[in-house]
Structure 1
Amino acid sequence: MNRKDRLYALTQRLRDGRLHTAEAMAQDLDVSVRTIYRDMEVLAASGVPVEGTRGYGYTVQAAITLPPLNLTEAELEALHLALAALGASGMEEHAAAARALAAKIDAILPEDSSQPSAPFGFATDAFAEAARGFTHMPAIRAAIRARQKLRVTLAGTTHDLRPLHIDYFGRVWTCIGWSETTSDFLGFRIDRIEDLRPLPSLFVNEPGRTLADWRARST
């Protein structure tokens, strides 16, 4: 059983209102007691109202509990954008709720172990930075579909880029492309873009410069 399924099974079990020991849950799910302790911490961090302590037992008295959701990249992008907008709205009650929701989502999102961890929304307390990154998403997506070159400035360096793919992993949105400036693939966080301008020229797939080539190199 993978972690997501195990967390769901634990939540459903705890919602019966009875006290469940970590030892019993570990035995039923064929995992260690230490794993159950960690799972309880994850559930609590994600907003599930877990009550109890190690060595005693756990229960859940939930007013609202959502089942596991499978989100598309577009749906996740919409959720990011909504939280960013609320966080920068100036309405403190909604901004606080946006921060709390971001923290709950952050607790259960997958991480890329090869990259430094970053909170959901690029930075939980920096919604303005996240919103700035999202302003570039439509232009990048349109350029990928049209195979249109972009001029992108990152950390003071400008690249003429063939955008190939937008990805979400390691808790940040990234873009993969072929930089004609460095004659190599370039991956970067979208919220780090300082300037982005569409160029009039288009591009076609060429051997060694495609998304498939990048994926082959990355494996």
Structure 2
Amino acid sequence: MNKTDRMLAIVVELQRKGVLRAEDLAARFETSVRTIYRDMQALSEAGVPVAGAPGTGYSLMEGYFLPPVSFTVEEAAALLIGADFVEFRFDAEYGARARSAREKIEAILPESVRDETVRVRSATRLLNEGTAGMYGREKAVLDRLRRAILEKRRVRFRYAKKIPGEDGTRLSERTADPYGLVFAGGTWSLVAFCGLRQDIRHFRLSRMSELAVLEETFEFLPGFRLADHRPADDRNVQVLALVSSDIADRVGEENNYYLESLEPREDGAWLATFRVRRIEELLQWALGWGAGVRILEPESLRTRIREEIGKMLERY
């Protein structure tokens, strides 16, 4: 951190915490106490109203705020919750940046707004219980991919994918040009030009392993913009399912990617309409709800469910 950045950070830290000793600031910014003394002298000469009291520490004159930004409670809460989300779901480096940004925002808020913002934020929680290990692995992949994208470096990885008509999951090795990262449906995906398919593909980070960032560089396809990119929707198979009223609310709340509509019927049941690429994408979903869900069509999915139930009966 250079001198200018450190001096600004000192002002922000004083605004946030009120009174700090030179020793505290030296430890915070990993420098010497003598350097902090010089920084304080420079701030005073620049017109920043810094007050120092022996044995107490440094503070800013009451009423001094930097920078002159005004937020409503709702705006401040939105920014701080956004910082919480970045820390929760992005990689370690961006998590640290989010914490730093949160501290700066809190520092410039008037006390009344800051107190009310704390109350608003206390009503919102981002939970990571039971999935910390999974998110930790995903964050590590995210960090490396983000750097590869910025440096335009090709990547290689192994990708797990369910192949129609086959048992289990097939692992394939892919070499790709990483174009961008997309967060949708609660998961991160890489948008990349796949060397194997010679086309732009989406890869879920949770299905990637053995990621290597290569020395080779690449150029984006002419005219490609991530903001304009929309993957082709090849979900051409319609599935109709009858859902029991006992579980209809839970089916709707799970936000299934393939679910298009969930409508009540006169007999009390609910009709769920899905669009999938292949029937296997809903096989485990249908089995998971047991007798609470009955597939109406296509007949091919009904047959697959009967076959799977037959295999389960053999094991039990």
**What TM-score comes out, normalization by structure 2 length?**
0.32
Instruction: Report which structure shows greater RCO (CA 8 Å, sep ≥6).
Output: 1
